[in-house]
Amino acid sequence: MAPRRSLRDALRVEPGSRVKLERMDHGATHGYDRASAAPVLEKRMAELASLQDRLWAESKHAVLVVLQGIDAAGKDGTINKVMEAFNPQGCVVSSFKVPTAEELAHDYLWRVHQRVPKHGEVGIFNRSHYEDVLVVRVHDLVPKSIWSRRFDQINDFEQLLTASGTTIVKFFLTIDRDEQRARFQARYDDPTRRWKFSMGDLSERKLWAEYQVAFDDVLSKTSTAGAPWYVIPANRKWFRNLAVASILAETMEQLKPAYPPEPDLPKDLVIE
């Protein structure tokens, strides 16, 4: 049997390619089933814990994880399930909501740059600077002449980060419309999760088609060699977790993080 293709290769958006989410299989599992995925995920989680420990100790690189996707795609779930591999002392999660008055008084990347992880840290963006070419476009908050220029500006911003020692890993979690409906209904029906549901979710759902076009543009125009997008079929949560953990572990492995040399200490030191 032919070896299974690396998920990092299979799910990467190659620079210059054109993405059409509507043509994708959002329930694809790339040859895995739940049973075969479980031990692989466990192994990857252990690798992530070790890699983060060495990244923190070495303090030469930073890793920025960007999570995007339509409402209910699983961004929070991914953080909860996959990022638990990381020691929270060296992992910072940032969410980007409606800009404050202070943030609006600056350029749109100002608030983002402040939350980029420092060397030794893993930073997670739950939504990100990409909202400024998604929400603002779909809701016509700024004219096309402004948001259309932001694709190149974001590419330049990310190139600056990578040149400064930050490895960027961007995950787009994609689900189909039926799956979103089912997840919204499940939130509403569960008293312990109803707080996550709002009528605004249904208003946004009516803009499904507009968001899909905007997502296609983001994925096609901002997947670069230094900061590629990975499109994760996320209808099946267990596969979503496997894919994100595997891709992130393989990416961090390439940094070859290592513990610093042992300090010059006296031999046979006995501490009283």
Write out residues in the chain with pLDDT < 50, as ranges: 1-3
Q: Which pLDDT score, from 0 to 100, does residue 268 have? A: 85
| HSE, side-chain direction, 13 A CA sphere, residue 207 | 17
Q: Which pLDDT score, from 0 to 100, does residue 106 have? A: 97
Place of tokens 């404050």: 100
| Domains in the chain: boundaries | 7-253
The matching CATH number, chosen from 3.90.1300.10, 3.10.20.340, 3.40.50.970, 3.40.50.300, for 7-253 is 3.40.50.300
Q: Which pLDDT score, from 0 to 100, does residue 2 have? A: 43
Q: Which pLDDT score, from 0 to 100, does residue 107 have? A: 97
The answer, as to whether pTM is greater than 0.75, is: yes
